[in-house]
Chains A and B, each alone.
Chain A
């Protein structure tokens, strides 16, 4: 019994915190708090270059990048932090602020009506949060199904039988939200790092320039071909740009 309990606690711990080691970022945090953003930035960046992957580190690096005017870097790192934890509302807020500083305006469709409500619900839990919630509902369904055979009252049996099926609905919804976040996390995305980039109609510099994107704008990658990427900006503006001008929103 004790053994099972131990395993259960361990599982919960993993679910909540994830496995991983701890590192100290006290020094750059102190520099940041003293307003030495440039120094803080280079220290955060050094840690990232050492291969340390951490939501907090990406977020803090992005903050320092913002404070030193590196808006493209800031966008990239806020997005990375959000890849690890889409629930990080601070990163989401700061990303919005940073995007206001950019040249290219991106319409935010998450601001109005139903999509705002869905957006709020979606990010009220992390992807794993939704996954665990789905498991919980499934087990509740099983328990009420088992209970059907354990109770003797016919009326109660009926209710429990119905419940066991009803519990499958929130389980399905939870799965949907988890899957939605999963899809978003796996959408290949890139951030423009050069101050301005031409987007061509074909993967060739001899083709027509369709539009110009500026530093910090983020694009969805549709296809990659040699040094070229087919991208879409705001969904409908589609074209080819050179991959060297961008950085992938990718966590090593």
Chain B
């Protein structure tokens, strides 16, 4: 049976912050399948994984081993545990051992590594800042200017300067920049060493990185030091002539930790005064071009409006210009195309905003003039550019819309059913409709019946005979009643003469209207004769005549109050009775 094992070990269990050491996993007679390491907390992997494999046959015994190794470095001090790694074998997961590592401050150097520069800070005054260890090798960060306006590009160059002939860069860390926007130049940087004379010394200089930094906030912008670790081969003159002659001295490898100086930029705010309304963060020097693909189109067809801003400056940070389109245009958010090149001097190129516009109504429209403004840091002022206005002819129906407003149609953004009827008391339905119910039929028929009835009985219902006599006959009793009422009023007011006068008149008028006896022709005989013809009872005629006589008498005779009321009642009774007789 072969011995199987899965172990982890490190080259050192006590390390310094930033120091590099080796972490190795060794598998004996286990397949390297699904190998996974746990996240390394407090460490970062700087190299690896490197794999190696060995097979041995001892006394016919076959054994195989794998090694997976990483170079890692600690990030901070303290005690850390490297959690076990895992592989899968025979359908199960096998874990390695965990390792404790103690990380301490300072330099716990290993092997022949010289302590690197920690103290000994030598800051080269800006714009170049450097830090070196004995000036034999150092890293520099250079900016082309120190004081800039917000949005004005700064060119940054990181260089490695070395007095050694053989240098290899093991690790480099660039700082994160807060409040700025960084992008490397597009042209590939030549990272090979070139010989340059620096301060009278012949040194090897390699440019590691060239980038453009655009500050986005005013105030102080700090570019933190760049840190790097390099491996150099030092030639030590040993005094041994042999060595010195052939190799130029004894060669010794050494690791150096390098750190550049930090650069502080003074970022000036863009002036508030005279800032145009069309300013959209552009800083530099630009030109403006506005194109439209067609100047005449049908309603509901699409046109493309192109706004191109070209020049030098913070192109990537320019926002879309605000354009006021006619109200009936449907305008989509512009498609933005950046075409720029980052060089060591800055950013040049163009930015295009393509607006898709769809006019919904016919008519002649004008767009613009479109305005664009930028801040020129050289002239230290804002410059506003303005395009020509664009005339657009849209064929199609013209919908009158004299009011130009920014109102927009309210559109549904979601869809759902409407809420329940939240009445708590509901009336149950009786199942009856009014339409086609009995009541409905009655109410529908009644109007037609009424019209029919009116047509049939219109003569009886409505008087509009031309014969005034007929009208008089009809109205006779009501006129008499009216007169009697007046008479009653006179009686109440104790106007005796007027009272009898009214009663008399009431009767006489009644007789005239009803029976056609003219005032002039009134006398007892005539009345008697006419009424008898109408078959009024004799007794009634007697009463009538009696009343008339009383009236005559009363007008000339002294007062006899007691009779007055009787006469009134008598008259009313006579008229009523005659009416009854006539219609009987």
A-to-B contact residues, CB < 8 Å: 11, 14-15, 17-26, 29, 32-33, 52-57, 59-60, 63-64, 66-67, 84, 90, 93-94, 97-98, 100, 127-128, 130-132, 134-135, 138-139, 141-142, 145-146, 149-150, 152, 164, 178, 181-182, 251
What is the minimal beta-carbon distance from A5 to any residue of chain B, in angstroms? 17
Stretch in B21-29, B225-233, B457-465 touching the partner: B457-465
With A90-B418, A152-B464 as known contacts, state yes or no: A22 contacts B425, CB within 8 Å: yes
Partner of B426, one of A25, A141, A145: A25
Measured in the bound complex, the distance between the Cα atoms of B250 and A178 in whole Å is 114
- Quick check: A94 and B418 within 8 Å, CB to CB? yes
Partner of B458, one of A52, A98, A149: A149
- Quick check: B422 and A29 within 8 Å, CB to CB? yes
Partner of A131, one of B417, B425, B435, B447: B435
* Size bracket, chain B contacts: 35 or more
- Quick check: A94 and B428 within 8 Å, CB to CB? no
Measured in the bound complex, the distance between the Cα atoms of B462 and A139 in whole Å is 20
Measured in the bound complex, the distance between the Cα atoms of B447 and A132 in whole Å is 13
- Quick check: B430 and A20 within 8 Å, CB to CB? yes
- Quick check: B427 and A145 within 8 Å, CB to CB? no
Measured in the bound complex, the distance between the Cα atoms of B440 and A19 in whole Å is 16
- Quick check: B454 and A18 within 8 Å, CB to CB? no
With A63-B417, A146-B454, A150-B462 as known contacts, state yes or no: A132 contacts B428, CB within 8 Å: no
What is the minimal beta-carbon distance from B142 to any residue of chain A, in angstroms? 64
What is the minimal beta-carbon distance from A131 to any residue of chain B, in angstroms? 4
B245 close to chain A: CB less than 8 A? no
B420 close to chain A: CB less than 8 A? yes
Nearest-CB residue, chain A, relative to B440? A131
- Quick check: B417 and A97 within 8 Å, CB to CB? yes
- Quick check: B420 and A29 within 8 Å, CB to CB? yes
Measured in the bound complex, the distance between the Cα atoms of B434 and A91 in whole Å is 22
With A97-B416, A138-B447, A142-B447 as known contacts, state yes or no: A19 contacts B430, CB within 8 Å: yes
- Quick check: B451 and A15 within 8 Å, CB to CB? no
B3 close to chain A: CB less than 8 A? no
For B420, B422, B425, B440, the residue with the greatest tally of chain A CB atoms inside 10 Å of its CB is B420
Residue-wise interface mask of B (386-421) relative to A, using a CB-CB cutoff of 8 A (1 in contact, 0 not): 000000000000000000000000000001111111
Nearest-CB residue, chain B, relative to A33? B422
- Quick check: A29 and B431 within 8 Å, CB to CB? no
B444 close to chain A: CB less than 8 A? yes
Measured in the bound complex, the distance between the Cα atoms of B415 and A98 in whole Å is 11
- Quick check: B422 and A18 within 8 Å, CB to CB? no
What is the minimal beta-carbon distance from B455 to any residue of chain A, in angstroms? 9
Q: Which residues of A contact B33 (CB under 8 A)?
A: none
Q: Which residues of B contact A33 (CB under 8 A)?
A: 420, 422
Q: Which residues of A contact B418 (CB under 8 A)?
A: 63, 90, 93-94
Measured in the bound complex, the distance between the Cα atoms of B450 and A100 in whole Å is 52
With A59-B421, A149-B464 as known contacts, state yes or no: A20 contacts B427, CB within 8 Å: yes
Q: Which residues of A contact B428 (CB under 8 A)?
A: 20-23, 52-54
- Quick check: B447 and A26 within 8 Å, CB to CB? no
Q: Which residues of A contact B440 (CB under 8 A)?
A: 131, 135
Measured in the bound complex, the distance between the Cα atoms of B463 and A150 in whole Å is 9
Q: Which residues of A contact B461 (CB under 8 A)?
A: 149
Nearest-CB residue, chain B, relative to A22? B425
- Quick check: A54 and B427 within 8 Å, CB to CB? yes
Q: 13 more A-B contacts (CB under 8 A) besides A60-B421, A182-B436? A: A19-B432, A22-B428, A23-B428, A24-B425, A26-B424, A32-B420, A52-B428, A53-B429, A55-B426, A56-B421, A90-B418, A90-B421, A93-B418
Nearest-CB residue, chain B, relative to A145? B451
B443 close to chain A: CB less than 8 A? yes
The 7 closest A-B pairs by CB, nearest first: A26-B424, A131-B435, A138-B447, A128-B434, A94-B417, A149-B462, A56-B426
Q: Which residues of A contact B451 (CB under 8 A)?
A: 141-142, 145, 164
Nearest-CB residue, chain B, relative to A28? B420
- Quick check: A18 and B427 within 8 Å, CB to CB? yes
- Quick check: B427 and A128 within 8 Å, CB to CB? no
- Quick check: A29 and B424 within 8 Å, CB to CB? yes
B556 close to chain A: CB less than 8 A? no
Nearest-CB residue, chain B, relative to A63? B420
Measured in the bound complex, the distance between the Cα atoms of B426 and A132 in whole Å is 24
Measured in the bound complex, the distance between the Cα atoms of B422 and A23 in whole Å is 13
Measured in the bound complex, the distance between the Cα atoms of B425 and A220 in whole Å is 33
Q: Which residues of A contact B436 (CB under 8 A)?
A: 131, 182
- Quick check: B435 and A60 within 8 Å, CB to CB? no
Q: Which residues of B contact A23 (CB under 8 A)?
A: 425-426, 428
Q: Which residues of A contact B420 (CB under 8 A)?
A: 29, 32-33, 59-60, 63-64
- Quick check: B424 and A24 within 8 Å, CB to CB? yes
Residue-wise interface mask of B (84-104) relative to A, using a CB-CB cutoff of 8 A (1 in contact, 0 not): 000000000000000000000
Q: Which residues of A contact B462 (CB under 8 A)?
A: 149-150
What is the minimal beta-carbon distance from A101 to any residue of chain B, in angstroms? 10
B201 close to chain A: CB less than 8 A? no
Q: Which residues of A contact B433 (CB under 8 A)?
A: 127-128, 131, 182
- Quick check: A15 and B432 within 8 Å, CB to CB? no
Measured in the bound complex, the distance between the Cα atoms of B462 and A152 in whole Å is 11
Nearest-CB residue, chain A, relative to B462? A149
B380 close to chain A: CB less than 8 A? no
Q: Which residues of A contact B421 (CB under 8 A)?
A: 56, 59-60, 90
Measured in the bound complex, the distance between the Cα atoms of B443 and A14 in whole Å is 15
B580 close to chain A: CB less than 8 A? no
- Quick check: A135 and B444 within 8 Å, CB to CB? yes
B423 close to chain A: CB less than 8 A? yes
Nearest-CB residue, chain A, relative to B415? A97
Measured in the bound complex, the distance between the Cα atoms of B464 and A149 in whole Å is 8
What are 13 A-B residue pairs whose CB atoms fall within 8 Å in the complex?
A: A19-B432, A21-B428, A22-B425, A53-B431, A54-B429, A59-B420, A84-B429, A90-B421, A127-B435, A131-B440, A132-B434, A142-B450, A178-B435
Measured in the bound complex, the distance between the Cα atoms of B448 and A90 in whole Å is 39
- Quick check: A18 and B430 within 8 Å, CB to CB? yes
- Quick check: A20 and B435 within 8 Å, CB to CB? no
Q: Which residues of B contact A182 (CB under 8 A)?
A: 433, 435-436
Nearest-CB residue, chain B, relative to A148? B454
Measured in the bound complex, the distance between the Cα atoms of B448 and A164 in whole Å is 11
Measured in the bound complex, the distance between the Cα atoms of B499 and A29 in whole Å is 79
Q: Which residues of B contact A145 (CB under 8 A)?
A: 450-451, 454
Nearest-CB residue, chain A, relative to B451? A145
Measured in the bound complex, the distance between the Cα atoms of B436 and A142 in whole Å is 21
What is the minimal beta-carbon distance from A83 to any residue of chain B, in angstroms? 10
Measured in the bound complex, the distance between the Cα atoms of B423 and A66 in whole Å is 19
Partner of B424, one of A25, A100, A131: A25
What is the minimal beta-carbon distance from A70 to any residue of chain B, in angstroms? 13
